[in-house]
A and B are shown apart, each in its own frame.
Chain A
Amino acid sequence: MNQEKIRVIVAKPGLDGHDRGAKVVARALRDAGMEVIYTGLRQTPEMIAEAALQEDVDAVGLSVLSGAHMALVPRVLELLAANGQGEVGLFLGGIIPDEDVPKLMAMGVAGVYGPGTSTIDIVQDIRNFVGQKK
């Protein structure tokens, strides 16, 4: 009867643009057997962290197209840690300049994915991350 599932929040913070990319990733994760809590557009870091707590997720996936990632990411990480969920993996997709990637990884981001990344890679990375944790 014991059936553990990987649970992931997919959110689109900020006021910009569309959530097409986020939806594609959400569907790919579902097809890989994960339970994806889709929270939609215009999520603040506070809303994301609150949802992560209530849903007891293993990972949070953010789609950021606005260029605001250097402000958003530390805030989300800080709020997750404050809630006692420092072990939750933060995965970032969208338009992220190359020079920001090492900085983001140093902050504790588990993975960064530019446009055109294969969803297979994202699925694999989340699985590995959660597998190592458990």
Chain B
Amino acid sequence: MSEIVQKVLAGDRLSLTRLLSKIEDGAPEGQQALAELFPHGGRAFLIGVTGAPGTGKSSLVNQIAYHYRHPADGGELKRVAIVAVDPSSPFSGGAVLGDRIRMNALTGDAGVFIRSMASRGSLGGLASTTAGIVQAFDAAGFEIILIETVGAGQAEVDIARLAHTTVVVEAPGLGDDVQAIKAGILEIADILVVNKADRPGIEQTERALKNMLQLAHPVRRDFTSPYLPASGEALNEALWMTPIQRTVATEGSGVLELVGLIAKHREHLSSTGDLARRERARLAAELDMLIQLGLVENWQKRLGNGQYEETLVEVVSRRISPGEAARKLIGMESK
């Protein structure tokens, strides 16, 4: 086992932070360490927090984490890691990561580790290495991992795949209430939060959300891999009905109830077997992604000099179709 992995497992924060950077940068040491850490993971509970910009995701993450550090309901103390993703500028590749500003209640607590990430060109609300960062925190012994997405307000399927419980945050006053709530984002919500309950318009927003939830039939979210045969399993356990919770994240009201709902959802996942199913689907998705990346990388390595350009010229002049060109280029490597 490499020295850095030993130190991370022993709880050394400097080694952990350096390892997170190596993972984020896609460095070989990072990949190697992830492989070594993998058998030590699988114990953390992953909570995703998503929603449109400015709805209060970071403030809410601050409150949820604070609760696990100071359990007011007699629950046990848990170590908490936070991964907060903000967008990279598509022009400069730089980013201003501002989620920590709202997490001051957590400073000075050695049981909390907050890491900001830039999306680095990834579009699904997470960075491509967020899953790796989460795995490292998991193996390092953090029992709760909170993941805040970019907050594009789109259907951020990536977070629903990664997290065990996905919390979608809405707030009043985001323009036309119903318009602001995209159907796709309701589908990924295990729990819906209406934050900024101290603001006018809260009733209206909540009513609109309730109506939309009633229209949307609860569906079982089975994220299957295209490479697996259909399971054919009879999925007839109780379906989870997405609850709505009001909060004021700046003050903390509604947070105890929210944390209660998260616990209830976790219980639902384990009692129905959904937890194992989601875990399997998540790992399958990661495997698929890595297979695709690896195949492309291999193919690129074996591609002869100028072959791609030559074929592209044929496509541009409409001598061959993109489909034929792809078959030709992929075929080249096997010769």
Contacts and interface: CB of A to CB of B under 8 A. Distances in A.
A89 to B, nearest CB: 16
B92 A54 contact: no
Given A29-B94, A30-B89, A33-B94, A38 B101 contact: yes
Interface of chain A, main secondary structure? mixed
A37 B94 CA distance: 11
A84 B49 CA distance: 32
Contact of B21 (A33, A50, A51, A56): A56
A37 to B, nearest CB: 5
Contact of A36 (B17, B97, B113): B97
Interface in B70-103: 88-89, 91-98, 100-101
Interface stretch (A39-47, A65-73, A97-105, A113-121): A39-47
A124 interface: no
Given A2-B25, A37-B100, A54 B95 contact: no
B97 A38 contact: yes
Contacts of B26: 1-3
Contacts of B118: 5, 35
B221 interface: no
Contacts of B89: 30-31
Contacts of B18: 56
Contacts of A27: 96
Interface string B91-130: 1111111101100100110000111101010000000000
A5 B119 CA distance: 12
Interface of chain B, main secondary structure? mixed
Interface string A1-43: 1111101000000000000000000110111111111111000
A27 B118 CA distance: 14
B14 A37 contact: no
Interface residues of B, number: 30
A78 interface: no
B25 A35 contact: no
Contact of A35 (B14, B95, B101): B95
Contacts of A40: 98, 100-101
A37 B116 contact: yes
A107 interface: no
B141 to A, nearest CB: 16
B295 interface: no
Contacts of A5: 25, 93-94, 118, 120
A30 B92 contact: yes
A51 B116 CA distance: 10
Nearest to B14: A84
Contacts of A32: 92, 94
Contacts of A3: 25-26, 120
A26 B101 CA distance: 14
Contact of B97 (A31, A35, A46, A56): A35
Given A46-B108, A56-B21, A31 B94 contact: yes
B27 interface: yes
A4 B97 CA distance: 16
Contact of B107 (A2, A4, A46, A83): A46
Interface hub of A5, A27, A51, A54 (most chain B Cβ within 10 A) = A54
B49 to A, nearest CB: 18
A95 to B, nearest CB: 23
A27 B98 CA distance: 12
B101 A55 contact: no
B93 A33 contact: yes
Given A30-B94, A32-B92, A85-B14, A50 B25 contact: no
B20 interface: yes
18 contacts: A4-B27, A7-B21, A26-B96, A29-B94, A30-B92, A31-B89, A31-B92, A32-B92, A33-B93, A34-B94, A35-B118, A37-B116, A38-B97, A38-B101, A53-B14, A54-B115, A55-B116, A84-B14
Interface of B: 13-14, 17-18, 20-21, 25-27, 88-89, 91-98, 100-101, 104, 107-108, 113-116, 118, 120
